[in-house]
């Protein structure tokens, strides 16, 4: 996935109200950027850290910048959670996730279950495969962990996946690692023990869990290799 515009460099001043971030651009201009991330972003927001923003020239937008990446001194971290879905869609479309190959039709944001939308719905003549995508940007003890805040919505998605598996479909929970400074993955039971328990329940019930790392730079984000879970 290539960024469709050249990203602007700046440094982070503060993030607040979850969806807002004040940034000083390289030319000294102070701007407020949209932060497309509802999590805590615990280790993704240091004072003065380098950031990259997408500029927008849309008069209908309240904020003309979107915060995309932050550099923590070791690697770029993608804080725009929407990008994980884009990278996953591209990777599946190009056959770069072996476990999700062999499907002729790929749809995004399809209604399913009781009241949800599935990130990716894959179909062939034999089966349907429901794929929920989560963006992982937190590390702990040199492991990637999810979630970074309690998530009732995340548990609901796992319940929906179990429902689809119970109806005879394939169901997959795909975690996309949006940074590259750790190794291995686990559920963050110290943050949300209910989610960790639900993930284990879903896996025991037949939901597949896939974890993939990504290569991230100023040009874009590309799927990497499968990570140990």
Which tens digits make up the pLDDT trace of 46-71?
999 999 999 998 888 899 999 999 99
- CATH code: domain of residue 137: 3.40.1350.60
Same domain, 50 and 146: no
Nearest to 111 by CA among 122, 121, 125: 121
| 111 shares a domain with 145 | yes
CATH number at residue 50: 2.40.50.580
| Structural tokens at position 37 | 């991330």
Span 102-132, pLDDT tens digits: 999 999 999 987 778 999 999 999 999 999 9
Full DSSP string of 169-219 = -EEEEEEEE---S---EEE-TTT-HHHHHHHHHHHHHT-EEEEEEEEE-SS
pTM above 0.85, yes or no: yes
pLDDT band at 226 (very low <50, low <70, confident <90, very high): very high
Backbone CA torsion sign across 138, 184, 157, 190: negative
- Give the domain range for residue 132: 82-226
Number of domains composing the chain: 2
Same domain, 86 and 69: no
What Å distances lie between residue 205 and 109, 111, 166, 189, CA to CA? Answer: 24, 22, 8, 19
d(CA 123, CA 92): 12
């Amino acid at each position: 996935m290539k960024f469709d515009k050249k990203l602007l460099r700046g440094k982070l001043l503060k993030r607040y109200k979850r969806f807002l971030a004040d940034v000083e651009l390289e030319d000294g201009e102070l701007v407020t950027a949209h932060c497309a991330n509802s999590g805590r972003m615990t280790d993704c927001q240091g004072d003065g850290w380098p950031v990259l923003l997408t500029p927008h020239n849309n008069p209908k937008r309240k904020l003309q910048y979107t915060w995309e990446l932050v550099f923590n001194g070791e690697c770029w971290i993608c804080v725009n959670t929407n990008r994980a879905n884009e990278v996953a869609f591209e990777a599946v479309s190009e056959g770069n996730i072996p476990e999700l190959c062999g499907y002729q039709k790929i749809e995004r944001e399809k209604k399913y279950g009781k009241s949800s939308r599935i990130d990716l719905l894959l179909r062939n003549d034999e089966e349907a495969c429901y794929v929920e995508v989560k963006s992982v940007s937190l590390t702990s003890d040199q492991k990637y962990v999810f979630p970074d805040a309690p998530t009732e919505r995340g548990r609901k998605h796992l319940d929906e996946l179990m429902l689809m598996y119970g109806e005879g479909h394939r169901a997959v929970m795909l975690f996309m690692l949006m940074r590259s400074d750790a190794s291995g993955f686990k559920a963050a039971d110290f943050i949300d023990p209910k989610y960790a328990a639900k993930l284990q329940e879903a896996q025991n019930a037949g939901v597949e869990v896939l974890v993939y790392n990504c290569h991230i730079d100023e040009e874009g984000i590309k799927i990497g290799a499968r990570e140990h879970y």
